[in-house]
A and B are shown apart, each in its own frame.
Chain A
């Protein structure tokens, strides 16, 4: 293959469905959204759509199991329906640079989408996508990650190239906290699924920091081990203090930040940057990751198997 197809992100929400958004890094003007189904025999392709630019992130709807939203290199958000073969349901082009992150809120009573862009703004949308409900400014660098709190309605975290982790309140359209979490770019953040005050950040400085928002002067823990920038991290849906991170160092690492020695395991099954990962919400401790080596891997790391560590309360 004469160009690089990097698989940028993935999102597992169903028992058996995975979506991927590979982006051809070398040709502006080419992106594909893939929906894969996990069966006993492996992963099969259920649906795929082409987009005129790379796609950098994807999120499933919480309300409708057929709907997903993707963020594109052309600054657009598109809403897709797995029942519709050809075109997106809706396209919204407001961001003026790449949309690098999209998330669909999970808290009861709201169906909101948040997008973060390299244009340094965050936008909040409803599924109509026209127009955005609010645009939030404050970051002084590209935005890499915007993630809804699973606990607090209308609240999301953002990670930026400006080195700060920010916590936002949509109703007040304001940034509530700006934490200078790293001296380098922060490429990923995620909320703990069991403690509404805990957020983790992953940075170009090769560290993961776990923060308690009630005391932001220093992190609760700093997880060392990766040798290159951390591209994405995710808290486990099943274990309060367990999280996973993937990195440009080709590895995926699993951590329990409540331990003295937090690193549980290092998985080295890729031959290129690992840039996406997620936990399966329905099959405990199953993880899927994706890499610039053009592979997607679904596995259950031994360090997470039942009984290996403290269970969730």
Chain B
């Protein structure tokens, strides 16, 4: 069917709503249904039926997110964090690790993206040597990319089940050595833009897209308030794996601590307090420590598989991967990544967004407005500003938080995970929670 134009007209939307109400799932006695729009509008609705070939999420867990350098995980090596979540996920569902066809771990800062570290974690969890493992680095999206990779292997039938993980210790590793780069880098505009610090790209977006300090602070306040409320209500209790680990205090004495709460949340955040903070990257800038994502430590793991294999093992289905998209954007304004990746993923899924977990997004408000996403649907339990952003972990962590929240709400619904990516990309995935 031809493309729709001028669809902002409310009369048109009303008529489309009535017509949409005639299409499946049908046969109910609702007179006026909520709009359920499929971009192509044809009678064959896109992928809303369940198929044995679906890539489904079985279960996911994460560690608490610790504040880098000062928090409970500051002396914890990433393999320990990773091992904790890998073990927990399999133990929860009673699955033997032999069943895993592959394990993919997102990581950014470890040497070689943590390839050796991951294999060590694997054995620390008692996984058999017969199960392979590898790591992937697509910067901030690595944890989500790990899931995409495992999903791809499932779809190509290389494997039936796999573990997609992400881990980062920003306490023990910094951005550090950028590697061996050509001297021509400085003569190539786009290449040079890749080494712009993230804080400066944030300032670039604020300037170019007119996102004020006030708007950024308001978004940050929302993130903190939502996270604090969720934490108080115990919404993260199910997904967090408590980790008991070593902690070296200021006097050099070592003791054991158990970290089970996200440390970055600041319940006492106020607009006045945020307004007092000095810009962190540019003297007259708008990006501060209060409205940026935090430097953090953490890990997450998600078990995914082909639906037929999952059902054959008697495992539950927590969610279905409905679409995945990665797009490239200018490196100097990399923060706009989700604004392009989200529509690409939604189009693939043929869906309108119901809930979004959008990371590292201190000024997505502008783009949320452009995309028509109601603000209350973005990070209802807080985002990277409040919870933190352990680089390689975040993507996987978002999937866990998203699906748990959809499950808590109970109704069949769709959700989106998205983030911007340093060096100029955006990634997004659409998940379906099938309903209680």
Contact = CB atoms under 8 A, between A and B. Distances in A.
**Is the pairing of A and B real?**
yes
Interface of A: 1-4, 25-29, 53-54, 73, 98, 118, 140-142, 161-163, 183-185, 187, 204-206, 228-229, 231, 248-250, 272-273, 292
Task: Specify which of B3, B18, B27 lies most central, judged by the most chain A CB atoms within 10 Å of its CB.
Answer: B27
A248 B23 contact: yes
Interface in B203-228: none
A187 B21 CA distance: 11
Interface in B224-243: none
B314 interface: no
Given A206-B27, A228-B22, 12 more contacts: A2-B5, A25-B16, A27-B6, A28-B15, A29-B9, A161-B32, A183-B27, A183-B29, A185-B31, A228-B24, A229-B22, A231-B22
Interface string B1-25: 1111111010110011011011110
B26 interface: yes
Contacts, number: 84
B22 A3 contact: no
A163 B9 contact: no
B48 to A, nearest CB: 14
B358 to A, nearest CB: 30
A229 B2 CA distance: 21
B26 to A, nearest CB: 5
Interface string B25-40: 0111101100000000
21 contacts: A2-B2, A2-B5, A3-B2, A3-B3, A3-B5, A4-B4, A25-B19, A27-B9, A28-B11, A73-B15, A161-B31, A162-B31, A183-B27, A183-B28, A184-B26, A185-B21, A185-B31, A204-B21, A229-B26, A248-B43, A292-B1
Contact of B5 (A26, A54, A163, A184): A26
A73 B15 CA distance: 9
B415 to A, nearest CB: 28
Given A249-B43, A292-B1, A25 B26 contact: no
B42 to A, nearest CB: 8
A273 B22 CA distance: 11
B12 A27 contact: yes
B177 to A, nearest CB: 52
A276 to B, nearest CB: 14
B9 A28 contact: yes
A231 B26 CA distance: 14
A204 B22 contact: yes
Q: Considering the complex of A and B, which 9 residue pairs feature the smallest CB-CB distances, nearest first?
A: A28-B11, A229-B22, A205-B27, A141-B31, A26-B4, A28-B9, A184-B27, A204-B22, A183-B29
A48 B32 CA distance: 34
Interface residues of B, number: 26
A184 B3 CA distance: 29
A289 to B, nearest CB: 16
Contact of B26 (A53, A141, A161, A206): A206
A131 B231 CA distance: 63
Interface of B: 1-7, 9, 11-12, 15-16, 18-19, 21-24, 26-29, 31-32, 42-43
A228 B21 contact: no
A184 B12 contact: no
A228 B43 contact: yes
B352 to A, nearest CB: 17
B105 to A, nearest CB: 45
Nearest to A163: B29
B12 A28 contact: yes
A4 B28 contact: no
Contact of A184 (B16, B19, B28, B32): B28
A228 B7 CA distance: 25
Contacts of A53: 11
Given A228-B23, A248-B22, A26 B28 contact: no
Most chain-A Cβ atoms within 10 A of its Cβ — which of B7, B23, B31?
Answer: B31
Q: Which of A98, A142, A187, A228 has the most CB of B within 10 A?
A: A228
A292 to B, nearest CB: 7
A250 B27 contact: no
B43 A204 contact: no
A203 B29 CA distance: 12
Contacts of A250: 43
B12 A26 contact: yes
B43 A25 contact: no
Given A140-B31, A248-B43, A204 B3 contact: no
Given A204-B22, A248-B43, A98 B2 contact: no
A8 to B, nearest CB: 11
Nearest to A183: B29
Contacts of A142: 18, 31
Given A26-B7, A184-B28, A4 B18 contact: no
Nearest to B19: A25
Nearest to B12: A28
